[in-house]
Amino acid sequence: MASAPSCAGSPAAATASPLAWWRGAVIYQIYPRSFRDTNGDGIGDLAGIAEGLDYIADLGVDGIWISPFFTSPMKDFGYDVADYCGIDPSFGTFEDFDRIIAKAHGLGLKVIIDQVYSHTSDEHAWFHESRSDRANPKADWYVWADPKPDGSPPSNWQSVFGGSAWQWDGPRKQYYLHNFLISQPDLNVHNVAVQDALLDAARFWLSRGVDGFRLDALNFSMHDPDLRDNPPSGLPLELVTRPFDMQVKQYNQSHPDIVAFLERIRQTIDEFPGRFTVAEVGGPEPLAEMKAFTQGGKRLDSAYNFDFLYAPRLTAPLVRASLSQWSGEDGEGWPSWAFSNHDAPRAVTRWTLDGDMARAARLNLLLLLALRGNPIIYQGEELGLPQGHVAFEDLQDPEAIANWPHTLGRDGARTPMPWAVNAPQAGFSNANRTWLKLDPAHTGLAADRQAADPVSTLAYARQLLRLRSDFPALLSGDITLLDTPDDVLAFVRSADGAAVLCAFNLGETAVAWSPPAGWNTARILASESAVGNEATLPAVMAPGSGYWAIGG
């Protein structure tokens, strides 16, 4: 069957697991539409994920995060959920999903899935009932408001995708809030009945065997009930790509009551021991929310922001500032880090200084996997895939279409995964046309070609992940930032008396910098080479280079 009748009636909770497996775990993000197509319709599917699990396990990661595969009209490609407990037929069936769970667990991989609690599709049954009149049982399950006396929207809030965040609805003779597409009405998560329904959906998937959740757009899940206007951001117009950027999002997101809901989420998660939760926290100043969302061990386990996802350059001050925000003090949550994902242009394209994308890909992996926290690798990042080229007439993403050509858009990060250099559609699909066109530049970076090349980016990623797993300091150890010149980033990861020195020159010129005393020679893994024997660490670091020094 393609969907379940409801979120209720879930099986019994899983057996407790005493280990926090997720602390320092490497998570591999799968965007299902573009991962692997097994039925020839040009769209990746759950069966394709099951087929690809051996490849992922061989990388040496600890788990997978699967972006939405729920029932959806796909106007925002799954992030517009029409049934929280259904699987969209374009992706497959529950039997396919259960096969993923069983195979992943057999390979030692955990499975994390998305949960979207801030909004639904306008095709969700809840919204159909809510909009029917003002007196039905779900009348206040969404954010409804009367117009101002002149008929204009209730507040000045702007949508992420452009234009007012309010849409007039004839049946209700009211406006409803949509922070994203018009077809994505915002849930009224202040309503305890809505929270109960969302938690039932969480239990449904936890009972089905998932190991945790990535919580999408979490700080959009509650609004200011007084509907006060947002103040202007003061951003210069030349830096604006959408009206949303021109406001400080003081009242349409980040409500302080979100943390109480997170405590309810945690209580639900704790019915299924050993599970993991990580929040997406967007916005220009996300740290306070990230800390609040993960504080004290009674909310979520981890959070990540967009420090790196939209950064046009990778710089030592940027990384240093991000790392220094997480001190490891008692009660503090655990950070997660992503350089690329389905919403952001690929990091290799944004951060290549001299056009050598293979070198940039290796450097990015070396840095990402050294950070204190959970690294999240986006599919294709281990291949060094650059941002895919998508012509305007082939764009699918509503945000990319609305902002073209002023941004790289999201479609270029979502093009099909190249599996085989000599196969149709690079092994992604047998279809004549795929939902997004494959970038021909990606074919030469196909997984099978790189798997046969001992000096490829893929071979480097596998070696790096194996080495990391051997050193507890890199998994969950402390971090100490070292004094360095501006373009050099260096820190020591330490645990149980062992230490790893991690150093990177993120600038465009060579920099003279010597490691601290005691690190004269060490076994190293450098961005330019594989693991070697003992070597003298360089006194001058080449631009765009880095290394891990072990056993100094």
For residue 116, the cross-strand partners are 216
Q: Map tokens 């008396």 to a residue.
A: 497
How many of the other CB atoms lie within 10 Å of CB of 232? Answer: 10
In the predicted model, what is the mean pLDDT of residues 419-430? 98
Whole-number pLDDT of residue 534: 66
Counting Cα atoms < 13 Å in the Cβ hemisphere of 110 gives: 23
- Percent of the chain exceeding pLDDT 70 equals 94
CA 50 remoteness from chain centre: 20
Query: Distance between CA atoms of 140 and 249, rounded to whole angstroms?
Result: 23
216 a catalytic residue: yes
Q: Are 488 and 478 in contact (CB under 8 A)?
A: no
Give the tokens for residue 1.
């069957």
In the predicted model, what is the mean pLDDT of residues 24-29? 98
For residue 489, the cross-strand partners are 504
What is the CATH number assigned to the segment(s) 478-550? 2.60.40.1180
Radius of gyration of the chain (CA): 23
For residue 549, the cross-strand partners are 501, 524
In the predicted model, what is the mean pLDDT of residues 12-39? 81
Q: Write out pLDDT tens, residues 482-537.
A: 999 999 999 999 998 899 999 999 999 999 998 888 886 666 666 665 555 567 78
Structure confidence at residue 334 as a pLDDT band (50, 70, 90): very high
Whole-number pLDDT of residue 10: 43
258 SS3 class = helix
Whole-number pLDDT of residue 528: 63
In the predicted model, what is the mean pLDDT of residues 16-21? 59
Same fold flag, 27-122+191-466 and 478-550: no
Q: Are 357 and 384 in contact (CB under 8 A)?
A: yes
Q: Name the DSSP letter for residue 472.
A: H
Q: How far are the Cα atoms of 157, 382, 427 from residue 59, in angstroms, in the given order?
A: 44, 9, 19
How many of the other CB atoms lie within 10 Å of CB of 310? Answer: 13
Q: Write out pLDDT tens, residues 452-470.
A: 999 999 999 999 999 999 8
How many of the other CB atoms lie within 10 Å of CB of 515? Answer: 20
Whole-number pLDDT of residue 13: 39
Whole-number pLDDT of residue 357: 93
Q: Model-level pTM?
A: 0.95
96 a catalytic residue: no
Whole-number pLDDT of residue 14: 38
Q: How many helices (H) and strands (E) does the chain have?
A: 14, 21
Greatest Cα pair distance, the chain, in angstroms, is 76
Whole-number pLDDT of residue 404: 84
What residue ranges do the domains of the chain occupy? 27-122+191-466, 478-550
82-96, 208-222, 230-244, 394-408: lowest mean pLDDT where? 394-408
Residues 6+ apart with CB under 8 A from 11: 207, 208
Q: Name the DSSP letter for residue 132.
A: H
Whole-number pLDDT of residue 532: 55
Indicate if the pLDDT at residue 183 is higher than 50.
Answer: yes
Query: Distance between CA atoms of 453 and 472, rounded to whole angstroms?
Result: 29
Write down the catalytic residue from 216, 280, 307, 399. 216
Query: Distance between CA atoms of 530 and 462, rounded to whole angstroms?
Result: 11
Indicate if the pLDDT at residue 18 is higher than 50.
Answer: no
Write down the catalytic residue from 41, 169, 229, 271. 271
Whole-number pLDDT of residue 9: 45
Q: Write out pLDDT tens, residues 93-149.
A: 999 999 999 999 999 999 999 999 999 999 999 999 999 999 999 999 999 999 999
What letter represents residue 430's amino acid?
N
In the predicted model, what is the mean pLDDT of residues 77-104? 98
- Report phi then psi at 68, rounded to 5: -55, 140
Considering the chain, what is the average pLDDT of its residues?
A: 93
Which of the listed CATH numbers 2.120.10.30, 3.20.20.220, 3.40.50.720, 3.20.20.80 matches domain 27-122+191-466?
A: 3.20.20.80
Give the tokens for residue 256.
């302080």
In the predicted model, what is the mean pLDDT of residues 409-436? 97
Give the tokens for residue 547.
């290394």
Buried b (16+ CB within 10 A) or exposed e, 474-489: bbbbebeebebeebbb
- Percent of the chain exceeding pLDDT 90 equals 83
Q: Write out pLDDT tens, residues 256-302.
A: 999 999 999 999 999 999 999 999 998 888 999 999 999 999 999 99
